[in-house]
Structure 1
């Protein structure tokens, strides 16, 4: 049991250190030696748990996907049924906050857009796009969306903007601030919502 707990702690430390390295430097430049040192383990321990850099990146992506699931699940738990657009707004705010604070989630989004990263390790951005699309479909069926604003088009805009904010935020944290998210939704909601009544661009 002690060995199992130690192994779990080591894997978590390696995933966290790798996420930090991949997010700051990119997949290619990130050094496995630096990652192992940052995690406080030997290179041998790193290769025991993750035989290749791709395996380590895949573990980071899996962890990031789980963090994303937790983000939307928290928002869904708080939201009443029939409030799909407000759920989308709230999830956008929560995701932005977590991208500022959670290096693993941030690394998942960064790796997904890194041209040097293997393509088969997972796609956290794709999961985010799927969730946005499903939520907007619910909004459409509930009569929340304007007829001239098809759910699929709105989903593309929201996805592109949120991912764009995340990418810009790598150099300037202002882009992943609550203020920018609120301004974005203040512009979007009047154009896509049948009624603004009860909708809060700043989040619930």
Structure 2
């Protein structure tokens, strides 16, 4: 059992080291020697767990996918409407990307920063999640009259994935404050007054909802 636990710890060290190295140097420039050295293990130990750099990158991507999917699903609360789940999911994903190097590296690898491997596109998954929740919001009569779900989905996907790109050099782009500012701007333009009044943005700021309502009232 101790041998298995030690092997599991070594594998996790290598995954994290690979993520840090991919983030720092990029997939192409990163070497197995750099990754094993950073993890404090021999290249032989690395090859025991992973056949090559592509295998390591695939594992980083898969680990990131699991982490980000759990974060997005973890904010679902009984009775929460679709817009509440959408804003909550965006904050949960941003939090993971800001604080978890494996999530960050895996997301970037899946979006084209690594070797092409069909089947995993986390950016595309997020876009589909946005579209699905906006469809639910429409069915729940939460969207303002004349709002195009497709246009709104594209705008939210572009903005939130843009935060991820900007966050590569400045983590504040992925902060709750930055994301909340975006939602305060867009929600009054897509939600009904009733839906907006019932919405709590996950900022920890008790004034968040009144500010959103105030924007809507000024607009109308």
Compute the TM-score of the two structures, normalised by the length of structure 1. 0.90
What corresponds to 1:8 in structure 2? 8
What corresponds to 1:62 in structure 2? 62
Contact kept in structure 2, 1:58 and 1:122, CA below 8 Å: no
What corresponds to 2:174 in structure 1? 176
Shift of the alpha carbon at 1:71? 0.6
The DSSP-based 3-state class of the residue aligned with 1:113 is helix
Which of 181-190 and 22-31 deviates more?
22-31
Q: Which has the larger radius of gyration?
A: 2
Contact kept in structure 2, 1:68 and 1:95, CA below 8 Å: yes
Which of 10-19 and 151-160 deviates more?
151-160
Distance 2:153 2:93 in 1: 16
Distance 1:82 1:144 in 2: 12
Distance 2:166 2:47 in 1: 33
Which of 147-156 and 52-61 deviates more?
147-156
Distance 1:83 1:140 in 2: 11
Shift of the alpha carbon at 1:133? 1.9
Contact kept in structure 1, 2:177 and 2:203, CA below 8 Å: no
Q: Higher relative CO (CA 8 A, sep ≥ 6), structure 1 or 2?
A: 1
Contact kept in structure 2, 1:63 and 1:104, CA below 8 Å: yes
5+ long unaligned stretches in structure 1: none
5+ long unaligned stretches in structure 2: 205-220
Distance 1:6 1:74 in 2: 30
Which of 48-57 and 113-122 deviates more?
113-122
Compute the TM-score of the two structures, normalised by the length of structure 2. 0.84
CA distance change for structure 1 residues 145 and 99 in 2, over 3 Å: closer, same or farther?
same
What corresponds to 1:199 in structure 2? 199
Which of 158-167 and 131-140 deviates more?
131-140
The DSSP-based 3-state class of the residue aligned with 1:200 is coil
Which of 59-68 and 41-50 deviates more?
41-50
Within 5 Å, which residues of 2 pair with 1:1-204? 1-76=1-76, 79-120=77-118, 122-195=120-193, 196-203=196-203
Contact kept in structure 2, 1:96 and 1:176, CA below 8 Å: yes
CA distance change for structure 1 residues 203 and 140 in 2, over 3 Å: closer, same or farther?
farther
Counting matched residue pairs gives: 202
Shift of the alpha carbon at 1:151? 2.4
